Amino acid sequence: MTLHATIDRVTDRIRERSAKSRSAYLAKIARAAEEGPRRAHLSCGNQAHAYAAMPDKQDLATTRKPNIGIVTAYNDMLSAHQPYERYPDLIRQAAHAAGATAQVAGGVPAMCDGVTQGRPGMELSLFSRDVIALASGVALTHDTFDAALYLGVCDKIVPGLIIAAGTFGHIPAVFVPAGPMPSGLPNDEKSKVRQQFAIGEVGREALMAAEMASYHAPGTCTFYGTANTNQMLMEFMGLHLPGSSFVNPNTPLRDALTSAAVQRAAAITRLGNDYLPAGEVLDERAFVNGIVGLMATGGSTNLVLHLPAMARAAGVILDLEDFHDLSETVPLMARVYPNGLADVNHFHAAGGLGYMIGQLLDAGLLHQDVRTIAGGGLDQYAHEPRLKDGRIEWVEGARETLNDKILRPAADPFAPTGGLKQLSGNLGRGVIKVSAVAPERHVIEAPVRVFSDQEEVKAAFKRGEFTEDVIVVVRFQGPRANGMPELHSLTPTLAVLQDRGLRVALVTDGRMSGASGKVPAAIHISPEAADGGPLARLRDGDLVRLDAVGGTLSCLAAGFEDRQPAEHDPSHSAEGLGRELFAAFRRHVGPATEGAAVVV
């Protein structure tokens, strides 16, 4: 199938915009690769330190066996990362069978937005992505690895690992997923209990019972938030093995896929004949494919922040217009909670990513001619793994959807577009995701209530102050102000107001969760208020128009642009729970439109 004209045009635009930075990047990783296996440049003493604890250290010191570095986000506090506890032993065994060795090069932090929602710790969440990139860099600076396996799943972890993989782009990179937990309490039932708790219909005991029944086992949360969007992205970008993203943890197929990933890592080092540096996978076509996957699945808005930062690490420059134009072209093919009732296990059973990739390739909406860790182009990702006699074989994936309430063909989608809109106007530049928002709520014009903290919004709600149509503005939530926390804990409150018949929207320079849904939310507004951005000039009662159809966000009050901006008071976010350690990050972070990054 001929590549769709918009996919071609956007890719060319990114290529032209990135020409200078990408050329410099490729030259950099080529210089690093030319030095050959890095261990050859270590002294005998250096090598002895590196291999002292390894049972097969003599082989490493005297032979050309590939040595694989493991960068792991394991901890046993987070369900998504707990399965990684077993992986190092499994990886070492698989490496030995493949004629290689493997070492845990280092660990990276993995914090959970689900634990920190609405808490001060959430103000460190976005910056943890940069810390993960830095920690991965420390692990790989030992200069003893011929390939790297990256073990990570959740919100900031995968983007941070990609930034590291791009920075060390001369080293082959294979991403190894852990899989989602089995289905528990349906997400819509959990959401209903949350709303009942917000208005006092049920108590905390009922709320806790619902939450524990939903998040109940090792593995990723089963709704389609940022964590599972990350897993989709790694498959669309060719960094997972085909069909591996949504296989449940601790199953024979999951273990076999992990072993197969080790085999691929051993096969694509510079010591062999199939060298595949990570930097060659991470080109503009891979990032366009990732954005197409984001739109086709209705994925998390957090990736609109992460992808520009990830791409920049590989010399590729993305802009909000790229997301907007691709969203306008790519059909929404999936309905997974919060954009439907199904969870990711149901999605996977209905045909999953293999079906979607096959459909999108047939429609000319994906680049087939990309490099992937599977060894060929993206068409391999229309296949799915099967376990036969203890070994993996890939077979043709579903060619027909197995449940058209969850997954539809590209020619008969749930919606003709991906639902992500760029917004611009005299309030700045940002995005809105409308795939789960009713069409009659795509345009909201109402007076604003202005807040500087999400807890102030909840307090006003409890006092019964929201009785008319309202646009709730929560400003001073950008990366320079307080680290750009998610404001997902506002979702039940705003959803209650909407269910009462009010026309409601949120406008913020902060983030919303990948699980946000039916309430219109204009997010990532830039320039942020703490930088004197336009949100800092808003006052209670100003009439604001949020138009997701026309792509505008504007204050209609006379004299708005002549006002003095409100001053940000940083004292509320300056200390406590480690926030003082991140003062330098807040000072030096880039704007949301460029990924809100510190290290790239």
Binding residues: 154, 221
Helix axes 157-167, 226-236, angle to 10 degrees: 30
Chain centroid to Cα 311, Å, comes to 13
- The CA distances from residue 323 to 293, 319, 320, 431, in Å, are 11, 7, 5, 9
Alpha-carbon span 396 to 122, nearest angstrom = 42
Cross-strand partners of 526: 429
Q: Which residues are annotated as a binding site for [4Fe-4S] cluster?
A: 154, 221
Residues 68, 103: contact at Cβ < 8 Å?
A: yes
- In three-state secondary structure terms, 557 is coil
For residues 327 and 295, the answer to whether their CB atoms sit within 8 Å is yes
Instruction: Look at residues 304, 271, 282 and name the one whose alpha carbon lies nearest to residue 66.
Output: 271
Distance CA(244)–CA(2), nearest Å, equals 28
- What's the per-residue H, E or C state across 100-130? CEEEEEEECCCCCHHHHCCCHHHHHHHHHHH
- Alpha helical stretches, state H, 35-156: 44-51, 57-62, 87-97, 113-116, 125-140
- Tell me which residue of 3, 65, 2, 4 sits closest to 328, measured CA to CA: 4
Alpha helices (runs of H) in 199-283, residue ranges in sequence order: 204-214, 226-236, 252-267, 278-281
